[in-house]
Amino acid sequence: MDIINILPDSVANQIAAGEVVDRPAGAVKELLENAMDAGAKQIDLVVKDAGRTLLQVTDNGCGMSESDARLCFERHATSKIHRADDLFAIHTMGFRGEALASIAAIAQVELRTRLTGSDLGTQVCIEGSHIVSQQPVACPEGTTMAVKNLFYNVPARRNFLKRDSVELGHIEEVFRRITLIHYDIGFSFVSNGRTLYDLRPGSMLGRIAGLFGAAYKERMYAVDEDTDLVRIHGFVSRPEFGRKTRGEQYIFVNGRFIKHPSLSAAVERAYGDLLPDRTYPSYFIGLTVDPSRIDVNIHPTKTEVKFADDHALFAVLRSAVKRAIGQFSLATELGFDTPDEFNIGPAPQGYIPRQPHVSYNENYNPFHPTPTQTRLTLESLKPYDDRDSRAGRDLDDLDDQPTAAPQARPQQERDELKAPCILLQGRYIVTAISSGLALIDRHRAMERILYDRLSSRRQTADSQTLLFPVDCRFSAADAELLGEMLPELKQYGFEITPRDNTTFVATAIPSDLSTDDLQTLLDQMLVDSKGAAMQRFNDRSQSLCASLARQMASRHAAPTSQEEMQQTVADLFACPMADTTPSGKRIITIVKPEELLR
């Protein structure tokens, strides 16, 4: 008796779908890739309920003809390869022609598409592989693919989906993996009516900042290399911004995100021992290689890839990153705040540039903040008229000496810090101290003072109950993080409760803060707590505290009286690490008496 059946297409497609689309994020990846393959310059993603009820991608690419709009849902329907040879020169993201067939097997799909230059578009509705309707429709040039009720006919899959916040997190990661490297294309991402990202086309660094926060612009070194084998363009984090988790590590080959342990190792090796223990660099690196030198038979959802020239690639990448780190690290020695970019105008006529002289302390280790960053000792901060004044003592002399363990200054001594103060440009407090003339950045001073107060819990921030509670909204991933931080935030005077997956309601905030920028403040706090900058702190509670202190300080009103300024100076000098902010920025600059003499 014959027992072999040929499975109907709809069943075969459903089985195949299990491989291509295991969760909403898988469908998002396919739809975004198709839009890019269609040459779109703007791509808009809309999801509802983390993709469960709706996943929609709109592009302004080439569009499809009436019959292609039907054909695209057939298995092995692709416009991207025609012959087996084509497999060795793939320049598109997709080529197997199974994504749309798979998605159509497990969802209700509505396609609207208009071929560039054509008058009218086509709408195709398909449900579980069966075309329900096709009709002409007026629509913009390009394509909108709306996938509704994913897995409606595969309850087993549907039941395996995780919480919305988890599924949305997966979609966000897919979105990052695609948008990071296609920074020449504009992308937007709307979830449940809220815009999570609106990314303009531009540079890779701009895209990194758009996805991870503007602060990233200052944390990165550029990596650029062009060899016969490979072209490398990307950014790696400065060693001091290493992260405690291997999170933001992205390598792309020919526009495609890949995981490649030995290339990742190449990047990490380049850092040598510059990275503090148990921290990892962030990196975003695009490699461009001849497509015939990589194995194309990659499974659509897999991120592994094989190179013909593994070892050479490893070596080139490592040395490129090494050079990026080495080449630029001197810059950090040049000033206490390295500017974003050096602004170099045209040189005046006849100007002969001099080689800049850079001196550095060989023993300086940026990761041992206590002994070296505390340049000032308590001694040097005594009031100017102190009998024991050691005026003229060079601060740099103190560099090599271990700093005495921080001690609380006696109250009486603090009261003596009453030298007159001047406020310069609303920002710098100028006053006399034992070792000279002190210029104090008042924002940074407040940051230190508030940090010490908050972290020692000597002072719980005063709380004000809000007459009108304020709503704040976050991406699903951020919302989850914020949820975890709520108990700590409460200690600092915030009364915040979740309303739904992405919305929180604030009913009380620290009294130093205004509600106007509460959203900004919380957003920044989230960036800080994920961001590499805060990895210098031992735990999230410290980093949270530093973030809060920094933001409260930046909103602190300028002092209006002598007493207020003197109080700030006295409060600052009462801090054990009075000369640097929690994130390591210098607070005080001292002009020494001999410099004054000159």
**Chain positions contacting ligand ADP, by CB under 6 A:** 30, 34-35, 37-38, 59, 61-64, 72, 77-80, 94-101, 143
Closest residue to ligand ADP, Cβ-based? 94
Point out which span in 99-107, 148-156, 322-330, 474-482 binds Mg ion (CB under 5 A): 99-107
Closest CA to 417 of 425, 405, 409, 426: 409
Least CB distance to Mg ion at residue 452 (A): 56
> Measured between alpha carbons, how far is 199 from 473 in angstroms, rounded to an integer?
19
Least CB distance to Mg ion at residue 97 (A): 7
Closest residue to Mg ion, Cβ-based? 94
Q: Which does 62 bind (CB under 5 to 8 A by kind): ligand ADP, Mg ion, none?
A: ligand ADP
Least CB distance to Mg ion at residue 98 (A): 8
Q: Which does 544 bind (CB under 5 to 8 A by kind): ligand ADP, Mg ion, none?
A: none
Strands 249-253 and 283-288: parallel
Q: Of the two residues 46 and 546, which places its CB atom closer to ligand ADP in the complex?
A: 46
Least CB distance to ligand ADP at residue 120 (A): 16
Q: Which does 95 bind (CB under 5 to 8 A by kind): ligand ADP, Mg ion, none?
A: ligand ADP
Least CB distance to ligand ADP at residue 460 (A): 55
Q: Which does 393 bind (CB under 5 to 8 A by kind): ligand ADP, Mg ion, none?
A: none
Q: Which does 38 bind (CB under 5 to 8 A by kind): Mg ion, ligand ADP, none?
A: ligand ADP
Least CB distance to ligand ADP at residue 26 (A): 12
Q: Which does 72 bind (CB under 5 to 8 A by kind): Mg ion, ligand ADP, none?
A: ligand ADP
Q: Of the two residues 113 and 581, which places its CB atom closer to Mg ion in the complex?
A: 113
Length of the chain: 598
Q: Kindly write down the DSSP assignment for every residue of 273-334, as one continuous string.
A: GGSPTT-B--EEEEEE--GGGB-----TT-----BTTHHHHHHHHHHHHHHHHHHHHTHHHH
> Measured between alpha carbons, how far is 79 from 93 in angstroms, rounded to an integer?
12
Least CB distance to ligand ADP at residue 14 (A): 15
Q: Which does 143 bind (CB under 5 to 8 A by kind): Mg ion, ligand ADP, none?
A: ligand ADP
Q: Which does 78 bind (CB under 5 to 8 A by kind): ligand ADP, Mg ion, none?
A: ligand ADP
Least CB distance to ligand ADP at residue 549 (A): 48
Q: Which does 506 bind (CB under 5 to 8 A by kind): ligand ADP, Mg ion, none?
A: none
For residue 590, the surrounding DSSP H or E stretch is: strand 588-591
Q: Kindly write down the DSSP assignment for every residue of 85-137, as one continuous string.
A: GGGGG--SS--SS-HHHHHHHSSEEEEEEE-TT-S-EEEEEEETTEEEEEEEE
Q: Of the two residues 97 and 369, which places its CB atom closer to ligand ADP in the complex?
A: 97
Q: Of the two residues 34 and 144, which places its CB atom closer to Mg ion in the complex?
A: 34
Q: Of the two residues 80 and 244, which places its CB atom closer to ligand ADP in the complex?
A: 80
Q: How far is CA 592 from CA 25, 356, 438, 531, 595, in A?
A: 61, 24, 9, 37, 5
SS3 of the chain: helix, strand, coil, percent, to 5: 40, 20, 40
End-to-end CA distance of the chain: 108
- Is the CB of residue 387 less than 8 Å from the CB of residue 407? no
Tokens encoding 113: 């598409």
Q: By CB neighbour count within 10 A (0-12 exposed, 13-18 middle, 19+ buried), where does 470 fall?
A: middle
Q: Of the two residues 144 and 502, which places its CB atom closer to ligand ADP in the complex?
A: 144
Under rule CB under 5 A, residue 436 binds Mg ion: no
Q: Kindly write down the DSSP assignment for every residue of 15-34, as one continuous string.
A: HHHHHH-SSHHHHHHHHHHH
Of residues 99, 103, 251, 522, which one binds Mg ion by CB under 5 A?
99
Least CB distance to Mg ion at residue 57 (A): 11
Least CB distance to ligand ADP at residue 331 (A): 44
- Is the CB of residue 538 less than 8 Å from the CB of residue 444? no
Q: Of the two residues 112 and 448, which places its CB atom closer to ligand ADP in the complex?
A: 112
Q: Which does 59 bind (CB under 5 to 8 A by kind): ligand ADP, Mg ion, none?
A: ligand ADP
Q: Which does 96 bind (CB under 5 to 8 A by kind): ligand ADP, Mg ion, none?
A: ligand ADP
Strands 186-191 and 42-48: parallel
Least CB distance to ligand ADP at residue 190 (A): 18
Query: What's at 323, amino acid-wise?
Result: R
Q: Of the two residues 121 and 582, which places its CB atom closer to ligand ADP in the complex?
A: 121
Q: Of the two residues 79 and 507, which places its CB atom closer to ligand ADP in the complex?
A: 79
Q: Of the two residues 45 and 526, which places its CB atom closer to ligand ADP in the complex?
A: 45
Q: Of the two residues 29 and 444, which places its CB atom closer to Mg ion in the complex?
A: 29
- Is the CB of residue 287 less than 8 Å from the CB of residue 230? yes
Which residues within the stretch 38-97 sit at the binding site for Mg ion (CB under 5 A)? 94
> Measured between alpha carbons, how far is 537 from 454 in angstroms, rounded to an integer?
15
Q: Of the two residues 20 and 381, which places its CB atom closer to Mg ion in the complex?
A: 20
- Site size toward Mg ion, by CB under 5 A: 3
Under rule CB under 5 A, residue 34 binds Mg ion: yes
Q: How far is CA 116 from CA 313, 371, 439, 442, in A?
A: 40, 66, 63, 59
Q: Of the two residues 99 and 570, which places its CB atom closer to Mg ion in the complex?
A: 99
Handedness of CA 165, 166, 171, 177 (dihedral sign): positive
Q: How far is CA 37 from CA 34, 66, 90, in A?
A: 5, 19, 11
Least CB distance to ligand ADP at residue 323 (A): 38
Give, in degrees to the nearest 5, the angle at Cα 474 between 470 and 479: 105
Least CB distance to ligand ADP at residue 11 (A): 18
> Measured between alpha carbons, how far is 526 from 522 in angstroms, rounded to an integer?
6
User: Given the rule CB under 5 A, which residues bind Mg ion?
Assistant: 34, 94, 99
